[in-house]
Amino acid sequence: MKFPATNLTHAACVSQSFRHPDLFGAKTLSLTAQPVTNFSIEIAQGGYPSHDARNVTNLGFCNVSLIYTHPGQRDSINVQVWLPLEGWNQRLQGAAGGGFLAGLNVPSMAGALSDGFAVVSTDAGHKVEDASTWALLSPGNVDLYALQNWASVSLNDAAVIGKSITKDFYGQKPIRSYWNGCSGGGRQGLVLAQRYPDAFDGILAAAPGINWNTALVGGLYFPLVIQLSGQGHIPNPCEIYALSLAAVAACDADDGVIDNIISDPAQCKFDPSTLVGQNVTCPGINATISQAAALGAAKTWDAVRTANGSFLMPGLNPGALLNVALNSTCDARTGKCQMVPFSYSEEFVRYWLIKRPEFDWTTLTWDDFYRLWDYSVDTYTDMTASNDPDLNDFRASGGKLITWHGLADPAVPTNTSRIYYSKVGQLDPSVSQYYRYFEAPGVSHCGGGNGPYPGHVFESLIAWVEEGKAPDMLQGISLPTANGTVYHRPICAYPQKATYKGSGDVTLAASWKCV
């Protein structure tokens, strides 16, 4: 959404133009301001979360970098505020992070800047994603202040700092403020809505890692299914990839359209065991689908469960690429393979649960896994999770919240978002007045995949906040297929689904309706 250019006078881009923000419990260590001109960057789809690819050129902005600490906690947090030198739209956007990085994602910040926003982002006290550099004070001792900063505290701090710096530069506060994030950045958005309901007027929390602490433990469940199966075989990545494609082929037509998209994964009843023994070919590799591969796929499409079969957390949807949850690497000479867990899961267990840098995940038993699950629930839910369904304070503040999640997400199970939204609705039947949830068939994690991508959802959020236009559907446009086909399709507010009308060009949105 483009706003009329605002030619406000602004202070010079020098440190003397800015006061130290009034941030309770914090002390500013340094503040610098540096003008930046002719800044250019190519941004891929989703690099600026929930936006299409774009080529940004010749931006000019004032980069204000503030370093502060919470006295007594021995932390040092860097916040950057990028202030457009021309055409400020009088709004502030918080640029999220992802994974173990809290923010300072240059493509995200540059994308927001190119739309006229003043932009704020934080590193939460650590500049690299590698957990070995900040998780532990020493073996056996977690740096809880660092984890707290990453999980929540630095997010509200950034909102306060961003608004203060923006006011000093332009002489007025932002008229609206927004948060934009996906994955870990989506988790951040939900944390802000739940814990800091006045921080932002509108929040886009896409594909959020809601139950961060349990989801990361759960990420070890799927490779352990194979590792501890007793099959004596670790599948080649080609086997897993072939089963991913086979699910799409089996269930693609369920919605009446052949487009390599599973519109309703819950209705997909594909049984991977039917392909055991089938030969498959991948680039440079020939493989045979094994019983172990079929078992791993079936369990990953099901759920993480207790030893007696009780539900713990959702699995992935059929249609999601299985090679994230069931990744393996193989010796080209011997052909012998070994499982490679989702990196964030392995790091979380290594540093925050086991607390030993030398930990080897392959030593885990099922008893170990369930003990780690319980320990993570007891120790880290309150600090890291964003699963509180009580959004009453956010509603009272007048805030608006949108979540969208790709149904082919291979990293964060889509059903975690569906479950959370349903819990909010159970607590407050008026949820749709301030929070709406959308599922995007065929879309991968924060973008990519075969399905139509909601690259204009942020515009819908702004229209809801500023004009009261609640979105009933989002506009989705896919990446071109190998033959150049592009699919346009509505992405419907849950629980509705896009349904083919039965006639018309399947690539056009007009041939579909929300039901």
Residues marked as catalytic: 183, 409, 445
- Copy the structure tokens of residue 260: 């390599």
Task: Work out whether strand 136-138 and strand 400-406 pair parallel, antiparallel, or are unpaired.
Answer: unpaired
Position 345, amino acid:
S
Q: Structure tokens of 405?
A: 């999640």
Name the β-bridge partners of 88: 6
Distances (CA, A) of 161 to 26, 27, 82, 153, 376: 11, 12, 12, 12, 32
Q: Residue 167 burial by CB count (10 A; 0-12/13-18/19+): exposed, middle or buried?
A: middle
C-alpha pair distances (Å), 314 with each of 115, 218, 223, 259, 418: 37, 9, 15, 26, 10
SS3 at position 176: strand
Helices (H) and strands (E) in the chain, counts: 13, 21
Which helix H or strand E contains 383, and what residues bound it? helix 366-384
Q: How far apart are CA 165 and CA 161, in angstroms?
A: 6
The rounded distance, in Å, linking the Cα atoms of 245 and 79 is 43
Give Cβ neighbours of residue 82 (< 8 Å, ≥ 6 apart). 36, 61, 62, 63, 64, 109, 112, 113, 118, 119, 120
CB 242 within 8 A of CB 289: yes
Angle (nearest 5°) at CA 388 between 387 and 394: 120
What per-residue string of b and e applies to 234-266 under the rule 16 or more CB within 10 Å gives b? bbbbbbbbbbbebbbebbbeebebebbbbbbbe
In this structure, which amino acid lies at residue 157?
Answer: D
Grouping H, G, I as helix, E, B as strand and the rest as coil, residue 330 is strand
Please classify residue 99 by burial: count the beta carbons closer than 10 Å to its beta carbon, then call 0-12 exposed, 13-18 middle and 19+ buried.
Answer: middle
Burial class (CB in 10 A: 0-12, 13-18, 19+), 312: middle
Distances, alpha carbon 61 to alpha carbons 4, 8, 144, 511, in Å: 18, 14, 35, 44
What are the DSSP calls for 262-325, one per residue? -S-GGG----GGGGTT-EEEETTEEEE--HHHHHHHHHHHHEEE-TT--EEEE-PPBTB-TTTT
- Beta strands per DSSP E along 371-443: 400-406, 435-440
Instruction: Compute the residue count for the chain.
Output: 515
